[in-house]
Amino acid sequence: MKIKRHHATDLRVSDVERENEVQRVQREIDSFLRAVNSYPDRFAREPYLSFQQHLSNIVTAEPPPGIDEDSRR
């Protein structure tokens, strides 16, 4: 049985991909938590707004990855 050996560059690429995935998931979690925290006030003003609509509004209002808030001003 032949053992597959990984080159160091293969590991670095997978580490970068893994870090990108971790950051993407963290952004999703942060968006969800912001929506949970802000939904009661928004619902009080707009009682027909679903949580899914509210969450979608928050996600689409966020800057794309790699864009910081200061550079958008």
Give a yes or no: residue 58 inside a domain. yes
Give a yes or no: residue 9 inside a domain. no
Give a yes or no: residue 15 inside a domain. no
| pLDDT at site 1 | 61
DSSP string, 8-63: HHHHHHHHHHHHHHHHHHHHHHHHHHHHHHHHHHHHHH-TT--HHHHHHHHHHHSP
Reported pTM: 0.67
Give a yes or no: residue 6 inside a domain. no
| Tens-digit pLDDT profile for residues 5-34 | 655 555 566 888 999 999 999 999 999 999
| pLDDT at site 61 | 87
| pLDDT at site 13 | 67
* Planar angle of CA 18, 30, 36, nearest 5 degrees: 145
Count up the domains in the chain and report the number: 1
Give a yes or no: residue 57 inside a domain. yes
Give the structural domain span for 34.
20-63
| Tens-digit pLDDT profile for residues 29-50 | 999 999 999 999 999 999 999 9
Give a yes or no: residue 47 inside a domain. yes
